[in-house]
Amino acid sequence: MAYLDTPDSQRANRKFIRQAMNAPLLTREHELDLARRWRHDGDEEALHELIASYTRLVVSTASRFKHYGLPMGDLVQEGTVGLMQAAARFEPERDVRFSTYAAWWIRSAMQDYILKNWSVVRTGTTAAQKSLFFNLRRLRAKLQDGTKSHMDDADRAFIAQELRVNVTDVEAMEMRLSASDQSLNATISIEGEDQWQDFLADERPCPETSVGGTMDRSKVQRWLAESIAELNEREQTIIRERRLADEACTLEDLGKVLGISKERVRQIEHRALQKLKLSLLRRAADPADAELLTQGLL
């Protein structure tokens, strides 16, 4: 997905970055004092000073992700949201610097934004895919070391082991990162009028197959109804409640309705299924159809 910064947004970004980098650094004691005032007293001035002082951390993190092609201003904005989330959750009582704690939230906010906006196709929906997306380029560059342009099977196996993912996941992400979004309405060539969507295969069943399937279902339903009609009344009740209902009735509940034990219900059900199987086998000329009926329906 292509993004383009306008000259105005670029100037605004540079101004914001200069202000962030010029903000005074905080001592450990003053940082903890600000964090306590915000957490315990809700002091918004303390929060503002804490956020302003560590916006430089947001800018620094954003610069490491700018090669993904997203506007620097958007990355900084998302990182600032992560910084504020960190401020809301930071516990001054723990012996940890706020910058150390906030770094994870800033990075996580930016990564989520990149995964959602890098492409119109959702990327990195699992932990393994996310790890691959943000580490594959680095590890690939380390392995290639300027001597080769493509990864081989050994390289993919190394990356899979390093990131604890499957080799197939590495191959899929490699292909995903090497491709770019393209409209299905785009023409294949400059001279021609054919579009990419013209060559997409329709995987839906053809009309002949659909009609044939409908006829087969009707035939199966007729066979099943005729076979059930050959059972006695109690057997029919058990088959309908146990095998044909949306929610199968339990053996115990059926036993209470019929006035028999659940073990007796099970025995009658087993006998009725054997009768149905024989009846359906008589009706099905093709042994394959008979096998489908006895296994799938029963």
Residue 98 belongs to domain with CATH number: 1.20.120.1810
Please tell me the predicted confidence (pLDDT) of residue 55. Answer: 92
- For residues 74 and 131, membership in a common domain is answered with no
Q: Count other C-beta atoms under 10 Å from residue 191's C-beta.
A: 6
Q: Is residue 202 part of a domain?
A: no
- For residues 114 and 127, membership in a common domain is answered with no
Tokens of 75: 């990355």
The number of domains in the chain is 3
> pLDDT digits over 2-15, tens only?
445 677 777 877 88
Q: Is residue 129 part of a domain?
A: yes
The whole-angstrom distance between residue 204's C-alpha and the CA centroid of its chain comes to: 25
- For residues 69 and 151, membership in a common domain is answered with no
- For residues 81 and 105, membership in a common domain is answered with yes
**CA 247 → CA 241, 243, 255, distances in Å?**
8, 9, 16
Q: Is residue 274 part of a domain?
A: yes
- For residues 89 and 161, membership in a common domain is answered with no
Final residue in a domain of this structure, among 118, 141, 168: 118
Q: Is residue 108 part of a domain?
A: yes
- Segments forming the whole domain that contains residue 152: 122-180
Please tell me the predicted confidence (pLDDT) of residue 267. Answer: 92
- For residues 76 and 50, membership in a common domain is answered with yes
> pLDDT digits over 109-146, tens only?
998 888 887 764 555 566 767 777 777 777 777 776 65
Q: Is residue 188 part of a domain?
A: no
- For residues 10 and 102, membership in a common domain is answered with yes
Final residue in a domain of this structure, among 118, 153, 171: 118
Q: Is residue 228 part of a domain?
A: yes
Final residue in a domain of this structure, among 135, 164, 180: 180
- For residues 126 and 113, membership in a common domain is answered with no
Cβ within 8 Å of residue 281, ≥6 positions away: 290, 294
- For residues 228 and 147, membership in a common domain is answered with no
| CATH assignment at residue 251 | 1.10.10.10
> pLDDT digits over 174-200, tens only?
776 665 555 556 676 666 667 766 666
**CA-CA-CA-CA torsion for 9, 11, 13, 14, nearest 10 degrees?**
160
**DSSP string covering the chain:** ------HHHHHHHHHHHHHHHHSPPPPHHHHHHHHHHHHHH--HHHHHHHHHHTHHHHHHHHHHHGGGS--HHHHHHHHHHHHHHHHHH--TTSS--HHHHHHHHHHHHHHHHHHHHS-SS----SHHHHHHHHHHHHHHHHHHTTS-SS--HHHHHHHHHHHT--HHHHHHHHHHHH-----TTSBSSSS---BGGGG----SPPHHHHHHHHHHHHHHHHHHHHHHHTS-HHHHHHHIIIIISSSPPPHHHHHHHHTS-HHHHHHHHHHHHHHHHHHHHHH-SSHHHHHHIIIII-
> pLDDT digits over 215-252, tens only?
467 777 787 888 888 999 999 999 888 888 888 888 88
- For residues 169 and 266, membership in a common domain is answered with no
pTM for the full model?
A: 0.48
- For residues 87 and 154, membership in a common domain is answered with no
Q: Is residue 185 part of a domain?
A: no
Share of the chain above pLDDT 70, in %: 73
Q: Is residue 103 part of a domain?
A: yes
